Each structure stands twice: as C-alpha cells, then as structure tokens.
Structure 1
Amino acid sequence: MGNHTNPSLARKRLSTLAVTTTLAAVGVGVIGTGVANAATPAGVGHTQVNPALDTAAALNSVKVTGADGLTVTADIAGTQIAEAITDYTNVHVTIDWNEDHVDPQAIDVHPNSGDAGKPASNSVAHTFKAPGTYHVTVKVDDGSGGAAKTATKDVTVFAAPTLVAAVSTKTPAPGSPVVVNLTGSSVDKSAAGATTTIKWGDTASDSVLTGDPSKILTTDAKLSHTYAAGNYTLSVQLNDGLGNANSKTDAQTFAITVGANGKIVVNRASGSDHYATGDRYTTGLVIAQRAWADNGKAATDTAHRQQAKAVVLATGVAFPDALAGGPLAKKVGGPLLLTDGGAATTNPDVLKEIQRVLPPTSATVPAASSTVYILGGEKAISTGIENELTAKGYTVKRLAGADRYETALKIAKDGMGDPSRLILARGDEGTNHNGFADALAAGPYAANVFGGAVVLSNGSTMDPATKAYVTSKLHVGAKNVGVVGGPAVAAIKTIPGSADLYSASFGNDRYETAAMLADKFPHNVTVGVATGLQFPDALTGGAYMASIGGPLLLSDPTALSDATAKKLGLIYTTTPEVDIFGGEKAVTPAVANAIATLVKVATIGKF
C-alpha cells in the first residue's frame, strides 16, 4: 500500500463530478456557469495525497442540459482511483448539498462487471427546497486509511415561473369584457425582467405586462378585452426574462365562446350523473374533469382544459385539514380531490382521476410535474394512501401540523411559499360541526381577489402560532390581512394594535358573508353555489371556482337563502354561468329551480 501515496501512479477513472439540472418540484433552477474549478488544497504534500481522488477530479465542470430545475444531478463520471485499488467495497463517495436538515448522499462506485474502471452507477439527484446558492461538497474515501479528499463548488438554482391564470368568463356576451386574472402566479425574485403576454386570439394586439405577475391587479386595462360573436383561443404566457439559455416560460390557453345573445347557462355538478354511486367523492371527480385535461394532452384538448401541475388530496370524512386547500390548489395548478382518508388505499375512482390528470415521475417526467399534496396528518390521510401513491410513482408532499390550525399554517408557509397576504376565517367545529362555511367561501376570494393563503381562528380566539403569524402580516398603510366572518373578526381584535390594519367582511350569517365576498369579484364571472350546511361539495367546488376566478355562494339546501337570491338577482344580466355543486340531496331541486328562475334559465344542464 506504500505506493498509494505516489501521485504519478497510474489511476483508474472513477469520476469527475458534474452538475446537471432537471425540472423540479417547485420550479426551474439554473446552474451558474463560469464557476472556477476546484483547486488543489494549498500546502498538501505528496505523502498527504489520498489516491482516491485526483487533485482536479471533483466538481471541475458544470453543464446545463435540457430542462433545468431546483433538482440538480451530481455525476461523478471521470474521477480517478489508484490502479492498485481492486476492492471497491471500501471506496465511498458522498455528496453534501449543504442544505439544512438534509443528510449527505452516497454514490455507488462499484464497477460494472465488464469494466472494472467504471462505476455501476455514478450520479445522485437532489431537489433543493428553495432558490439560492449552495456550497456543494464531494468527499471521496478509498478505504486505504489515508485522509479522505474533498472538493467543492457553489451551485445556484432559481425558481421557475409559475403561471396561475384565470379568465372572468369563457362565454361572454358580445361587448362584455373578458378579464384575465394573474393572482397566484410567481417568478423568481431575481427575474426583474419577467413579462406576461396575452394573445387574445382575434385581430387585437397582444397585451404585454412587465414585472412580478402576482402584483398586477385585475384593474389593469391590459388584462381586459371585449370580443365580437365567435370562437377564440386566448393564450397567456409568462417568461421569467432571464434572457439566456436558462430562461423559462409557463403558458395556459382558454377557449372563449361569444354567443350572439349571451345567454346564461346553469349547470349542476353531481357524481350521480356520471357514476353508479353518486357521492361527495364522485362529485369532486366530475368537477375536476370539467377543468383539467388528460395528462400530456392539454395542447390538443378540444375543451381547452388546463394541464394539471399537481393534485391536492384531502379527506372527505371531516373538514378541518382541508379548509385551507382551495388557494393551495389554485397556487399549485391542479384539482382538489377527496378520498376516505381512514382507508388503507385511495378510493379507486379517485386514484384513476389522479392518474388521468397527473403522470407519475419518470425519465421524462420530473417530480415537479407529478406531485400530490396531502392535507393533514396520518389520522386525516392514512400512511397506506401515502405509500400507495408513492408506489405509483408520485411525489407525495404531506402538509400536516399537530391540529387544523397548524396544518393551515403549514399550507400557507410550505405549500404556498409564505405569501405576504392572508385571509383569517374560523376553523373550529362550530354549531353542529358546521364551522367551515366562512373559510370555504373565503377560498376563491383569497385565491383570486385578495391574494394569499387562508389561516384559521378557533372561533373568536387564535392559537399562539396563528396569532404570531397573523401579527407578522399586519403593517401600517397596507391591509395585508383580510378577515372573513364574525368569529374571525373577534379573534383578530385580540391582537393589540390591530385596529385599522385589516379589512373585514362579515354578514348576519354564513350566506350573507359569502354574498359579501362575491360582491368583490367582477360581475361578469361564473358563479358557484353549494350548500352551506355540508362541506364536501363546497370544498371541491370552491377549489374549482378558485381555478376559474369566480366566487362561491352558499345556500340552505332546502330553500334558496335570501342573501344568495339577492346576489344572483343582481348579476343575472352579466354572469355567463351559474354552477351548482352537489346532487339533489345537497342542493334540492327546489333550490336549483329557484336559481334558474332568478337568472331566467329554463333548463339546468350537467357538467
């Protein structure tokens, strides 16, 4: 073993660490080029050189290939090892990504049977949680007893542009505007030159807007357009403006149909219309199938449905962990589905729907495009369901806290990237386990008008963590906190000095509160209606309304509530569509017919 310290000894080629990138869970990263090769440590003599790693063998090149991402791949093809090393079992190569709470990863260096000088596998991939620059270190130990050798390189990754666009209506009357809503879209903070381009699909010039799309208000004239009668394809493209080979875009298209008379339509979304067993789970599937294309086929989808980028999965048994899920579904760009969380496996029809809209991870599909967000802990969604989805090839991200309040905070911070604005609504059980109404009506409002996440009060109080989080968003001169419902208003008043730092919306009951939120939307958008006494249909229906940019109204299931009737009566000449969520037990025919009468529609259609 003495000649292992001779630096002129012939060496086997084991690896040269390169870094490549692939599309990742939260966006697109770009590896910075032009970084200097790792240098030989100063002052190292021949007797100190570990033969496992050549002095210029690690981290000496950076390549960006194909789609880039927050996921980077460390490839060790090229590093050299002494010819005398024949037993690879004691050779160890590890990569330290220098990210909090992430352990170093090992790379298998055992040779292929046909070539003892090449490793059987020579790369590992890692997805960073956030954009930034990381000091990546490779360490090689040949097992000979000499000191292990290391080399380092700084790796910089960026977040991808995320377009979360919605249109106020797909079926406007001639001369009635279509408004594009960009709330929920995002670009990396470094992408100062980002542009959003709207191609209206007729003879009008494109609208080009610059800067962070999340800060572009729907009142901007460039977001509004009126059409003549006909059929059009409206497209929206977001470019991060990095201006180099790593610049990335995200795009969506919408089919716009302008009728000669601009008639309103009323549709009911009910699982019983399409499945042998119509229930809360199948109603959610019908809603998802209206909005989201088959995976990989959005470009040719005749209904111009969107390509899902993720799925949000919640239990259909209880509401607490799912209350904050609507804005998350809008943010990540996918449907919110329900399953029996206590079961060992996913509801079979729900699993089929996940597989329909979302491809599993593969060589061509990165984790970013196959993520299922699970809401709540193991009592809400079992480990069996999580394991099943993982086995099917999906990247599963569980957002869970010790209780419903902490889960809502996890969704806001980890799922939605800690937005600057938030809505506070009650999340306690309430009378007869129906304390969900304000939060569900608040979901589309938070996602499209106010912007931000939904967090929960415990009736008229808040737990310490929620109170601290809400307090951090209260700023003089900027009402970044919206409060929905009387109990939540009482809760925020427990924060000293909070007066005049928030906006509030609360009525005499849940129906009036929902109608007040609907008043804040443009009047030419699709409107949703669900029962205010049960949560499942309002949950999946509310996520759908968040995705298309419309409000969610609530009603008593047996008689159309006064506040809801008044709102529908005021907007019947401008709204293109009213969607009723749930079967006839959830929203009775009497209520559905009353809605149709108010908006002067003779026949109620089906999703």
Structure 2
Amino acid sequence: MVFQRQDDDGSGQPTGQPAVMLYDDSIELGSKTRLLDDNGANPSISPDGSRVAFVRDGRIVVADLRGENEVRLTPEGVQYDHPTWSPDGRTLAFSSATGARQVYTAVADGSAAPVAVPGLNGVPAYQPHRKERVARLSGTDRFATALAVSRSHWRTLGSPTDQRRGANAVVLSRSDTYADALGGAVLAAEKEGPLLLTPPAELAASTRAEIQRVLTPGHSTVYLLGSSGALSTRVEDQVRAMGYYVQRLAGKDRFETSLAIAKAIDPMPDMVFLATGMNYPDALAAGAAAGAQNEVDSDYSAVVLLTRDEVIPPTTKAFLDTLPRDLRRIFGIGQQAAMAAYSYGTDSSVWGVWGADRYETARDVAVEFFEGQTYTGFATGTDWPDALTGGALMGVLGGPLMLTPGTRAELGNQAVSLLHETSGSVHTGLVFGSPSVVNSAQQAQIGVGLSGPLGFSSATNPTSGTAVSRG
C-alpha cells in the first residue's frame, strides 16, 4: 500500500513537507517501507498496483512504484487535490483545491489536458467496480479452436494497425492423440508462439494458412512434436516447402519426447513439473503453470516431464540427476506424479501438488503458482485438444488453466472457489472451445464469479490487442 508520511514536532504539529511512502509486506529482509517522493501528498495506488498518483505542489503526478517514469497530469499555476483512479486504471478524477472544488478527469498517461466534469464539485470517487469480460475462443472443431486461440493474441504479418505481439515460432502437434503434445504448451509459451494442430499424415490447410499469417518465411522455426510416426515426413516436407526452419523434437516414446521438448526449452531448467503421461488433465494444468514461468525477462525457466504414473522413467531420472541439487525445484502435479517425485527425493527441493480429482488439482496448481493474474482460462476436463492449445496461450498470458466438468449445468466447486478468490485481479475469463464442450451456463457462471451483480460483458473470438494481451 502507499501512504503519506508527515513528521511532527512532538506536539502533533506537522513540520516540513509530506512524503509519499510505499509499504510492501512481501519484503522479507530489511525495511518494508520505501520513499517514493519526498514532496508528495494524498497518494492513490492504481487498481493493478503498478502506479501511484499523488499531489506535488498542487499538481497531480503519476509515477511507478519506484517513484520513476513520472507523468504530470495538470499544469503549473492551478492547485488540485484528491486524485482517485477509475476501476480500469485508464483515467483519474481529482478536484481543484480552491473555490467550489470543481471535479476534473484526465487520462493517466498524460496524453490529454484535464477536462472539467460539469456540475460536479467536491472530493471525487469512482464506483469501485467494473464489468469484467468473458471471452470464448472457439471454432467448429479442434483445428478451428486452435486458430481462434492463435488469432486472439498473435498479430498478422505486415499489418500496420495491429499492435499485438508478433509470434516468434509455431509449435505443431498431431491432432488425434495427446501423448507427444503434453510438454508442448510450455514450449509454445517459451518460444512465444501459438500451438497448432494437424492430422499426422497431411498438413491441414487451415493450419498452413495460420502459420503463414503469423510467421515470416526464412526467419522462423516450426517445432514438430514427436517422431515421423506422430507427424509424418510429408508434414515436415510441407512446412519446409513453405520456407520455414523445422526442428523435430522426438524420442522413442512419449516420455523421451517430453524430455526432448524440455531440453529445447532449457537443458538446465530451474523448475521441473512432473505429470503423469498416462492421462492428460494434470499435465495440461501443469503446462500453463510452467509456461508462465518462462515469460520474457523471467529469472526462471520451467519444463514439463512425464511419468509413467508413479514411476519416473530411467531417461527422465538421469536428466533430473544432472540438475544441481541446491538449485533445482521439482513439482509433482497430480497424485501419481507427486508419488513419483517423492520416490525420487524427499528433500526441500521436491514438492507435490494434487487434489482429490483433476478439477481440484487444477485449482491447487492455480493457487500454488499464480498470484495477481489478470486472465484465467477454462477448458473442459473431459477432453484434451482445447485445453492443450488454450493452455499454451495461458502460459503466455501468465494465468492458470482451470478444468470444467464437461457440459454439466454447474461450473464446479473448484473453479467457482478460484473465481471468488481471484476476482479482484482477474479482468477476463477465457473459455476455450464451443458451447458443445463448455456450455453457456458455465460461461455465465464464470462471468458472475468475476464481475458479481453488476454483470459482465461477453465476446466471441476477439482479435483486438486489448482483448487478449499480456500488456
């Protein structure tokens, strides 16, 4: 939190200038307070916790939480006071400090002059809530849903008006089974590109078009997951003929393929997420969590490796043995993988995260590895394709992937619980898949959980940068 400090002379009378201070209770050592401005008053922190507005010599000033990157919203010569943020953090309201105390508003980036609010005087206050959004990313089948997920975030090549991120790579997985793909979401997040699907024998036409939409030939790589038995040499040749570099990540089975994917991310990762490769739900939740650790400028790298339920395959164990014991962190996601992790080691570098079922495990992963996220993803827990491609996006956006119980009328207690706990920071719920897999009733419950009685807004397959963008 931020606060104003005012020294006194011992009798309660203020002396000297007020100062704006930051108090951070997450600091473990040393002082938890930090000076932001030695001549500021009446601070107000932004809704996302990244900026602070305050008054200095009668002017409204916005700065980051280091007291840097200042923006002065009001001109010299006029006295203003009482800055307060709008719920979306885009504007501030404040009042003149003299006369009738006229209320003004101004955009928080200082790009326009303050504007008076007719007929409104006194100390301003915004209604402290906004309508949150639920966006459904879906198509008529798993291929089309993967395309909708990609189009929601990655910009089109050569579009001067598209301000979204450009993709650096594409990860390509077979569309008929999950075995080789469970580590792919982490790879897509780390390489900063979408995860797309194709049949094993032939590159799907729609997938071909999406690769061409986001990647520049001659400069970009398409990663193929699995051996030629998973994605054929014809698919590989088709991708090469389009002008892209191809890197195939494969082993003799799903376990060695997950290891090849992990080494392509980081041969010495800081965090290893173990999940059973004999089923898909736990690995999908783990993929979003691991992917979120690999964001640009992160101090950590993370990978997903597969277990044979409660057994760690020999090649995976040999890889774990190469990691420095004093630096590694191993997380068993789901009960089987947690037992496998504990069988490998019981020291402080090994943890288990699991619940009574796949839905509770997904929630526990969300609670353990995310804090202050602005996006939460939702996909059916009864099938894998939409959760796989959606989980790759969640890794990029830095949000968890929750699993819902198919097309039941109720969203599920675990997802509802997470919504209640995180609605203060989450502004968008992303639903992956059509109403035939995550129905409209569940979508509505997500909106209510995020936004409450004010209501929520809905979108289907948004493609604007403000709809699905990490910022």
Which TM-score applies when normalising by structure 2? Answer: 0.68
2:305 matched to 1:455? yes
What's the CA shift string for 1:45-66, capped at 9, x where partnerless? xxxxxxxxxxxxxxxxxxxxxx
Aligned residue among 351, 368, 381 for 1:532: 381
Q: Residue 566 of structure 1: CA displacement?
A: 1.1
In structure 1, distance between residues paired with 2:325 and 2:275: 19
Query: In structure 2, what is the equivalent of residue 175 of structure 1?
Result: 46
Secondary structure of the residue aligned to 1:584 is coil
Partner of residue 129, structure 1 = none
The match for 1:351 is 208
Q: Letter of the aligned partner of 1:268 in structure 2?
A: R
Counterpart of 2:214 in structure 1: which amino acid? Answer: V
Is 1:518 the counterpart of 2:380? The answer is no
Matches within 5 A, 1:436-585: 436-449=280-293, 451-473=301-323, 475-476=325-326, 478-495=327-344, 497-519=345-367, 520-559=369-408, 560-585=411-436
Instruction: For 1:339, give the aligned amino acid.
Output: T
Secondary structure, in 3 states, of the residue corresponding to 1:473? coil
Give distance in 2, aligned partners of 1:553 and 1:178: 25
Once the two structures are TM-superposed, the CA of residue 579 in structure 1 deviates from its matched residue by 0.6
- In 2, are the aligned partners of 1:310 and 1:335 still within 8 Å (CA)? yes
Partner of residue 284 from structure 1, selected from 132, 140, 146: 146
CA distance in 2, matches of 1:262, 1:475: 47
The one-letter amino acid paired with 1:568 is L
Secondary structure, aligned partner of 1:397: strand
| 8 A Cα contact 1:340 1:346, kept in partner | yes
Q: Which residue of 2 aligns with 1:295?
A: 157
Q: Which of 431, 454, 458 is equivalent to 1:604?
A: 458
Deviation at 1:408, TM superposition (A): 0.5
**How many matched pairs?**
348
Q: Which residue matches 1:29?
A: none
Q: Secondary structure at the match of 2:311?
A: coil
Give the counterpart of 1:396 among 243, 246, 271.
246
Query: 1:371 maps to which residue?
Result: 221
Going from structure 1 to structure 2, the CA distance change for 1:232 and 1:580 (only over 3 Å counts) comes to farther
Matches of 2:108 and 2:210 in 1, distance apart? 29
Bigger radius of gyration among the two: 1
Deviation at 1:359, TM superposition (A): 1.3
Task: Check the 8 A contact 1:473/1:481 in 2, yes or no.
Answer: no
Pick one of 189, 209, 216 that aligns with 1:330.
Answer: 189
Give the conservation status (yes or no) of the 8 Å contact 1:412–1:418: no
Name the % identity.
Answer: 34
- Once the two structures are TM-superposed, the CA of residue 301 in structure 1 deviates from its matched residue by 3.9
Report the Cα distance in structure 1 between the residues aligned to 2:405 and 2:272, rounded to whole angstroms.
28
Unaligned runs of 5+ in 1: 1-172, 181-201, 210-225, 234-257, 272-277, 362-368, 429-434
What amino acid maps onto 2:238 in structure 1?
Answer: E
Contact 1:296–1:307, Cα closer than 8 Å, also in 2: no
Structure 2 counterpart of 1:587, from 417, 432, 438: 438
Is the CA contact (8 Å cut-off) linking 1:479 and 1:503 kept in structure 2? Answer: no
State the TM-score, normalized to the length of structure 1.
Answer: 0.54
2:225/2:257 contact within 8 Å kept: yes
In 2: Cα distance, 1:313 partner to 1:512 partner: 29
Task: Tell me the amino acid that sits aligned with residue 338 of structure 2.
Answer: V
Separation in 1, partners of 2:421, 2:310: 32
For structure 2, the 5+ residue unaligned runs are: 1-43, 52-60, 69-87, 92-106, 111-125, 294-299, 462-471
> Which letter maps to 1:356?
R
CA 1:318–1:550 in structure 2 vs 1: closer, same or farther (change >3 Å)?
same
Taking the aligned partners of 2:189 and 2:67, their CA distance within structure 1 comes to 23
| Contact 2:198–2:204 under 8 Å retained in 1 | yes
- Cα 1:483–1:332 change in 2 (3 A) is same
SS at match of 1:267: strand
Q: Distance in 1 between matches of 2:205 and 2:130?
A: 40
Q: For residue 262 of structure 1, report the CA deviation from its aligned partner.
A: 3.5
* Corresponding letter in the other structure for 1:511: Y
Quote the offset at 1:174 in angstroms: 8.1
Distance 1:205 1:317 in 2: 48
> Does the CA contact (< 8 Å) of 1:175 and 1:228 recur in 2?
no
CA distance in 2, matches of 1:479, 1:292: 33
Query: SS of the residue aligned with 1:289?
Result: helix
Name the structure 1 match of 2:234. 384
